[in-house]
Amino acid sequence: MHIEKREFDHSFETEKHLSDEQMIVDEIHATSNVLARKLPKRDVLDFVLTTDDEVIGFLEVRGRRCSWSIIENGGFFLPLKKWMKIKEIYNSTGIKTCLVVVAKDETKKLWIGKHHGLSVKWWGDTRDDKSHDREPMVVIPTFFFEDFHKR
């Protein structure tokens, strides 16, 4: 059986996604002595957080076009591959990752790494189109999240 693989598509880095990332990074830089340094795509996560040259955390920014209340109805879905990277980093170094979700109406954050026992679902775009696919996703309960810092 031959499985056709789609070509890698960089369209996930939309202007909106890049704008969301920049908004979060600007807030971190304006309210702390922490630097957010962009990581290459191969590293799976968006940024490493440092003070001087010491790594104090990682940062993953996720955007959603829906309101937070929609997310609250089923939990936040994070790709399993990102979850596995976050767990690998935490289990080997004890360093957590800050997951920031920019929804249409609210921005929430969660420091993750030590959590376990979360469910995994097969989820994603259900259109029958090669440029959209489904993948295993970890379901994070929304009560774990808190408001992202606002000045």
Domains of the chain as residue ranges with CATH? 10-147 (3.40.1350.10)
Q: Which residue has the higher pLDDT, 149 or 71?
A: 71
Residue 42 has pLDDT above 60, yes or no: yes
pLDDT of residue 131: 59
Q: Which residue has the higher pLDDT, 150 or 103?
A: 103
Average pLDDT, the chain: 88
C-beta separation of 86 from 45 below 8 A = yes
Confidence of residue 142 (pLDDT cuts 50, 70, 90): very high
Pairing of strands 47-51, 35-38: antiparallel
pLDDT of residue 130: 60
Question: Which ranges of the chain does DSSP label H, i.e. alpha helix?
Answer: 15-31, 68-72, 80-93
Provide, rounded to the nearest whole percent, the portion of the chain with pLDDT above 70. 86
Tens digit of each residue's pLDDT (9 = 90 or more) over 48-80: 999 999 999 999 999 999 999 999 999 999 999
Give the DSSP letter string of 101-133: EE-SS-EEEEEESS-----EEEEE--SS-TT--
pLDDT of residue 149: 74
pLDDT of residue 40: 92
pLDDT of residue 2: 40
pLDDT of residue 7: 47
pLDDT of residue 150: 60
pLDDT of residue 106: 95
